[in-house]
Structure 1
């Protein structure tokens, strides 16, 4: 599937359609069980359900944080290769995530514009003319 501004959001079916709903359902059902009749087993069920939900959320957040670090490293290197200069420290992480979709020819110009005009990630993505797809996102 070709990526562009209108079709670049990534859904992980296992996470978004299976793990998250199951974790939420587990919490809801365990609370219903606890309210229906308090017992040590129902209390442990609620605790376990919340642990499951928190683990699912933290695993996702850790993956996204690692991905952000990799994007920063890759885009810093790409910018250096293209320009011979270090990437401006004023480029925010959110801007950099949007800039990764820009082609090599567009990147230096868009970095300058993002910094000088404080562009939002959405504005940056709309300015990309030659989309550089990213099929390896988490």
Structure 2
């Protein structure tokens, strides 16, 4: 496995982010074209297909959102424990979840100082990632 860094840390799953997204988009567009061009006696079934396509869109979005929320909670707990193990104190209270998620890439040596700096300067998650000198890979989050 190659070394992870800021430029290659994002992960896309082709089957989900590519195929599934475009398949749902095609169904959504096709369902509204079908609704627009259908005969009056077929409007009800065509509108039901549109509703199903919209439900698929919401499903696609919320499945991802819910999975990321669960991962964020786990990362927040892991990084709080790591900070406590390294410093004997919990993470600074001013850190947001997105900042903590970005801090997971920092090595143990720079993690406590970077956490303090992120809280004091209200660094963005991108700013935190760019400030990391020794990248700690996370291959599990997708």
TM-score category (smaller protein): over 0.9
| Pick aligned residue for 1:85 from 69, 82, 89 | 89
Task: Note the C-alpha offset of 1:136.
Answer: 0.2
Task: Note the C-alpha offset of 1:106.
Answer: 0.7
In structure 2, the residue matched to 1:100 is 104
What are the Cα deviations for residues 68-121 of structure 1, in whole angstroms up to 9, with x where unaligned? 111111111111111111111101111111110000111001011111111111
Q: TM-score, normalised by structure 1?
A: 0.95
In structure 2, the residue matched to 1:15 is 16
Unaligned runs of 5+ in 2: none
In structure 2, the residue matched to 1:30 is 31
Runs of 4+ in 1 over 2 A off after TM superposition: none
In structure 2, the residue matched to 1:51 is 55
What RMSD in Å do the two structures reach over aligned CA positions? 1.1
Residue 74 (structure 2) pairs with residue 73 (structure 1): no
What CA distance in whole angstroms lies between the structure 1 residues aligned with 2:56 and 2:127? 37
Size of the aligned set, in residue pairs, is 138
What CA distance in whole angstroms lies between the structure 2 residues aligned with 1:26 and 1:77? 45
Unaligned runs of 5+ in 1: none
| Pick aligned residue for 2:135 from 121, 131, 134 | 131
What CA distance in whole angstroms lies between the structure 2 residues aligned with 1:29 and 1:97? 38
Task: Note the C-alpha offset of 1:21.
Answer: 1.1
In structure 2, the residue matched to 1:3 is 4
What CA distance in whole angstroms lies between the structure 1 residues aligned with 2:22 and 2:59? 14
What CA distance in whole angstroms lies between the structure 2 residues aligned with 1:54 and 1:117? 36
Q: Secondary structure at the match of 1:64?
A: helix
* Residue range with higher mean Cα deviation, 76-85 or 118-127: 118-127
Task: Note the C-alpha offset of 1:15.
Answer: 1.4
What are the Cα deviations for residues 8-54 of structure 1, in whole angstroms up to 9, with x where unaligned? 11112121101111111111000000000142221111111111111
